[in-house]
Structure 1
C-alpha cells in the first residue's frame, strides 16, 4: 500500500459512511496548490445526484467528508477549496511510517495480483539482412515491456520472431548456387549429412541478398531462379533446408551481438520457418470448420464484424497460386504458441502501420476459438524521424544500419563527456565504456520517454545532454548518489531511521512512494514513458533534496545525517531498479 492508496481507502470509507459510493474517495496527486494530494469526489457526487434529478451542493458534501476525516491518523491538515476540492496534507506519522517502509524496501508493491504467462513478440529482424534503424523502437519498447511485466511478477517469454521465409531465402539460395554451384547443397542426389560449418558468413549474406534482389528486378529469368529455389525450399528439398539452417544460425549469431549492444535479449529465436509444417493442418482446420472460403482462386477468411465502422478486408490464407502469405505464417505462429506455451496474453510490439494486419489475424484466431479478443494485443508505435519529419534515413536516402546509428550516438556521447570534463582522469578503457553506456542510455531514453504512438526527431546533441529530460542526466543523477554513499562509507557514516522534517525530505518520500503507481500504469497502458516520467521526476526531486538538505557537511547532526543517507540509499535503489527496467545501465562513476 502506498500512502496515496491508503488515503484513497480512508476517504472512500468516509464517502461510504455518508451514503455515497466509496469510489468517490479516490485521492490523486495535486496538480497545483500547497497540499500534495487532493480528492475531487464531492463534485462527482453532486454530478451523479444531478443525473438522478437530485440537487447536492458539492462544497457541503466536501465539508461533511472533511469533518469525518480531520482527525484521521493519516491526515495532517485538510482544506475545502473552491467548489468542493479537498486538499490533503498527510500527517507527520504517515510520512515517517511511509519513509521507514521505503527504507526497508524501496521497490515494494510491484506484484500485479494474478500472475500471467505472457509472450512478447518484438524485434522482427530478417535473416541475412543487417539490423537497421527501423528495428530500434520494437527492440527498445519490447525489451522494456518484458522487463516491466517480469517486475510485476508475470512469467514472460520474449520472441524475436525472425523473418526467415519466402522469396528472400530463394534469392540467397539461387545467388549462392550461381557463385558456388559445386557445393553439395545443390546436388539433388546428395541427401547424407550436410556440413556443420556454414558455407557463408554474415558479410556474405549481406552481400548476396541485395545482389540477387537487384538482379531479379530487371531480369525475369533471374527472378524465376529465385522463385524456383523458394518453391523447392518450401517443398522440403534437403539441401535447401540445410542451407536455410545455416543462414538462420549465422544470422542469429550476428543478431545476438547487435541486439546485445542495445541490452536486448530474447528467450526464443523462432521465425516463420519454424511453423511451416503446421500450415497444411491449419488450413485444413479452417476449411473443415467453414471459416475459409474460395474467392477468385484465393482462400480467405472473412473477419468483418457488425460493429465495424469501416471496411475490414478478409484474411488471405492462401494466394490464388497456392502460396502462403504473411497472414498464413502469423496464424501458424499462433497455433504454435497455443500448443507450446498456451499463454494468457500475447503482445505484438510492431510499427503502428501494421495495425490492420494484426487486427485481421487476431479476429481470425478468435473466430477459430484459439484465443479471446483480450488475449491478443498489438502494441503499435510511431517512427523515429529525421529533421524533415520523415522516417530517419541516410543522406543518400538509404536505410541507416543500427550499428552506424549506435556509433553516431557513442561519438556524440564521447564529445559530450569531453566537453563537460566528465571522466577526464579515467583511463581509455573506462572512458570508452562510460561513453558507450551514455550513448545507449541517450538513445533508449530518448525513444522510451515518448508516448508509444508519438513520432520523434533524431537529435544526438539533445539526446546526449547532461541537463534536462535525458538518459545521460539520469545516469549522472544515479552516479552522484553512488559517490555520496561511497564517501559516507569512507567517513564511517551509517544509516538510520528516516525523519522527513524538511519540506524537501517530505517531497522525496512522496516521490519514492509513487513508484508502484508508475509501474502499474506503465504495465496496464503498455507504455514505458510513465516509468520514464517517474525516474526523471525522482532524480529532479533528489537534486532539490540534496541542495536543501546537507548530508556530509560539517555541523550536520549525526541522526539527521543518518536519516538523509537512508533516503539517498532508497533513492538510488529505486532509481537503479527503474532504469534497469527501461534498459539503462548505470556506471560506477562518471
Structure 2
C-alpha cells in the first residue's frame, strides 16, 4: 500500500502541476495544529515569488481544483496562503480496513530487494559482555529486524574480536598456569583433548589477570606477543587452544545475547578475514593505493574536499602485523565478493567514527566496494548514570551485561509482586519480558547518536513513555477482546468520535514510520509511534464503553479496530526486539 500521506500529496501535487505551478510545492505534511486540521500544504508560499503572485491567490486556485476530489472533507486557507486539509472519513476508513486485511499492515515489500549485512556485535572472545555492548546489540538487532520486515535479504554478523594480542595473552597465561598441557609441547603429534582446559568463569578471569600483569611486566608482555605471532603463523597447539577459547566463549555469548532476544545469523570474527589479507594487500600495492611510510604500509584516504585532515589508513605495521583497519577492509572484501552484499551497516560507539570513515573511503577508493554498495556507520552515544557519566557499578567498575539484565528483570518482578492476576509459575516469564522491554525500550526510545541517562525507576514504570506502558496497553486490549469472546472480526466502520478518528489517523502512519526508521537507521521513530498509538488508544478506551455498547454493529467495529491496534503494537515491539505478555 502507498503511504497514506503520499497519496494525499500526489493529489495536491497534481493540482499544483495542472495549474502550471511547481509540482513539488504540493507536498503535504501532517499538521502541527491538529485542532485546526489534519494535514497542511505550504507550497503556495514557495511558488509566490517564482510566479509573481500572492500566495493566497495560488492557494485559492489549488483549493478550487481540489474541491472536485471526494478525498477531502474540508479545505481552508489560513494566514498568508497555508492550505489546511481534512480528509473524508470514508477515505480514512478504507485505508484502515486495507491495513487490517494485510499481513504486513499495509507495508509494501521493498521494490528493490537488497542483500544487507548488519555488523552489530563487536564482542571479544575470552571477555564477558559488559554494558558497553548493550547499545550495539539492541539497536543493531532492531535495524536488522526492520530490514527483514521490509523484505530485504538480511544477515546479522557478530564479528567477534577473536584474533590479536588478547589471544596471545590468554594462551601465555594458560601456559604459566598449566605448563604440562599438550598444547605447549611443540613435539606433541597426537590428538588434543576434546574438552577445553577451562570453564567460561575461569576463562573470564584469565584475560583480565593476564592483561593487568602484562602492563607491569615486560617479560609477560613479550610472551603474549610471541604467542600471538606463533598462533597467527599456525602453531598447531596454540591453534587448538584458540579453538577451545572460541568455542567456550561463543557458547556463553550466545546465552547472553539470547537473554537480550538478540540473535546473529553469522558468528564470524576477525580471524575469518586473515586469509584474505595477503591477496588484498598485494592488490592494493598493485593498484598504487598502498605505499610505504616510515617502514609501515599505509593507504592515503584523504580527499581534496576535506575540511580537516583525515589520517591515512594504516594497513601493516613496520613488523608486518595487520591492524583493525586491515581486518575490517578484508571483511568488506568477503562480504561484497562472497556474500554479494548491497548494503553494509555497522554499529559502534560514535567515537569510532574516524576509523569507519577511513576504511569506508579505502573500500570505495580501491574498488573493494563498488559504486552500488552502500557502506553505512551508525554511531551511538553512551549509556550514562544519573551523574551524567558512563554507567558504572556501585563499586565503580564496568557492569557485566548479564548483571544489568538481572537487575532490570528484578525491577520488573518488583513491579508485579502484588499482582493477584498472575499465577506464581508465570511470574518469572512475565517479569523477564517486562524487564527486558523496560531495558530495551529505555535505550531504543532515544536517538541512537545521543547519550542518555539509565534510570531504572523510570524505565520500569507502567506510566509514561516506557516499555511496560506499551505492554500494559496491549494487555488491556487483550483483556477486552477476551471478555468479548470475539473470534472473527468485521470491517471497521466510520469513526464516531474525535478520539476514534485520531486513533485511526495514528494507525495509518505505520508504513510511513517503518520505512523512515529503516532509511534513517532510527528505531526511536518506532518507539515514538507506539507511544502515540498507545496514548490514542487509551484516550479512545476512556471515552468509549466498548463492551457495554448495545449497538452490535458499533461494538463489532470497535473490537476490530482495537484488535488492529494490538496487532500493530505487537508488530512494532517485535521490530524492536521485544515480546508482549498476556497479563500484567
**What's the TM-score bracket when you normalise by the shorter of the two chains?**
over 0.9
Q: Report the TM-score when normalising by structure 2.
A: 0.97
For residue 398 of structure 2, what is the aligned residue in structure 1? 399
2:488 and 2:173 map into 1 onto residues whose CA distance is 69
Q: CA contact under 8 A between 2:383 and 2:451: conserved in structure 1?
A: yes
Residues 405-420 of structure 1 mapped to structure 2, 5 A cutoff: 405-418=404-417
Q: CA contact under 8 A between 1:551 and 1:564: conserved in structure 2?
A: yes
Q: CA contact under 8 A between 1:98 and 1:509: conserved in structure 2?
A: no
Q: Residues 15, 194 of structure 1: CA spacing in aligned structure 2 closer, same or farther, 3 A cutoff?
A: same
For residue 9 of structure 2, what is the aligned residue in structure 1? 8
Choose which of 554, 561, 568 in structure 2 pairs with 1:560: 554
For residue 60 of structure 1, what is the aligned residue in structure 2? 57
For residue 69 of structure 1, what is the aligned residue in structure 2? 66
Structure 2 segments unaligned to the other structure (5+ residues): none
Q: CA contact under 8 A between 2:465 and 2:531: conserved in structure 1?
A: yes
Q: Does 1:459 align with 2:459?
A: no
Q: Does 1:80 align with 2:89?
A: no
For residue 442 of structure 2, what is the aligned residue in structure 1? 446
Choose which of 178, 188, 192 in structure 1 pairs with 2:186: 188
Q: 1:473-519 CA distances to partner (integer Å, 9 max, x unpaired)?
A: 000001111111111117x8854442322222211111111001101
Q: Does 1:499 align with 2:500?
A: no
For residue 524 of structure 1, what is the aligned residue in structure 2? 519
Query: Alignment RMSD, CA only?
Result: 1.5
2:191 and 2:58 map into 1 onto residues whose CA distance is 82
Greater Cα offset, 526-535 or 209-218: 209-218
Residues 57-456 of structure 1 mapped to structure 2, 5 A cutoff: 57-105=54-102, 107-372=105-370, 375-418=374-417, 421=418, 423-456=419-452
1:77 and 1:287 map into 2 onto residues whose CA distance is 67
Q: 1:456-480 CA distances to partner (integer Å, 9 max, x unpaired)?
A: 0110000011110000000000111
Q: Residues 147, 540 of structure 1: CA spacing in aligned structure 2 closer, same or farther, 3 A cutoff?
A: same
Cα drift, residue 100 of structure 1: 2.0
2:176 and 2:85 map into 1 onto residues whose CA distance is 77
Q: Residues 37, 305 of structure 1: CA spacing in aligned structure 2 closer, same or farther, 3 A cutoff?
A: same
For residue 44 of structure 2, what is the aligned residue in structure 1? 42
Choose which of 507, 510, 518 in structure 1 pairs with 2:505: 510
Helix, strand or coil: the match of 2:105? coil
2:186 and 2:354 map into 1 onto residues whose CA distance is 42
Q: CA contact under 8 A between 2:76 and 2:85: conserved in structure 1?
A: yes
Q: 1:42-99 CA distances to partner (integer Å, 9 max, x unpaired)?
A: 112225x1xxxx5221111111100111231100111001111111111132123123
2:253 and 2:172 map into 1 onto residues whose CA distance is 23
1:431 and 1:168 map into 2 onto residues whose CA distance is 41
Aligned structure 1 segments of 4 or more residues deviating by more than 3 angstroms: 492-497
1:187 and 1:494 map into 2 onto residues whose CA distance is 72
Q: 1:313-348 CA distances to partner (integer Å, 9 max, x unpaired)?
A: 001101112111111111111122122202001000
Q: CA contact under 8 A between 1:12 and 1:25: conserved in structure 2?
A: yes
Cα drift, residue 424 of structure 1: 2.6
Helix, strand or coil: the match of 1:157? strand
Residues 458-497 of structure 1 mapped to structure 2, 5 A cutoff: 458-489=454-485, 495-497=490-492
Greater Cα offset, 340-349 or 189-198: 189-198
Helix, strand or coil: the match of 1:398? coil
Q: 1:103-122 CA distances to partner (integer Å, 9 max, x unpaired)?
A: 21271124232111100000
State how many pairs are aligned: 580
Q: 1:446-465 CA distances to partner (integer Å, 9 max, x unpaired)?
A: 11111111110110000011
Greater Cα offset, 531-540 or 86-95: 86-95
1:38 and 1:225 map into 2 onto residues whose CA distance is 70
Residues 510-589 of structure 1 mapped to structure 2, 5 A cutoff: 510-553=505-548, 555-589=549-583
Q: CA contact under 8 A between 1:498 and 1:566: conserved in structure 2?
A: no
1:427 and 1:567 map into 2 onto residues whose CA distance is 30
Q: CA contact under 8 A between 1:488 and 1:494: conserved in structure 2?
A: no
Q: 1:345-389 CA distances to partner (integer Å, 9 max, x unpaired)?
A: 100011101000000001111121011466111111111011221
1:582 and 1:479 map into 2 onto residues whose CA distance is 18
2:420 and 2:253 map into 1 onto residues whose CA distance is 34
1:466 and 1:29 map into 2 onto residues whose CA distance is 29
Q: Residues 40, 438 of structure 1: CA spacing in aligned structure 2 closer, same or farther, 3 A cutoff?
A: same
1:114 and 1:24 map into 2 onto residues whose CA distance is 28
Greater Cα offset, 309-318 or 381-390: 381-390
Q: Residues 191, 86 of structure 1: CA spacing in aligned structure 2 closer, same or farther, 3 A cutoff?
A: farther
Greater Cα offset, 154-163 or 90-99: 90-99
Cα drift, residue 262 of structure 1: 0.6
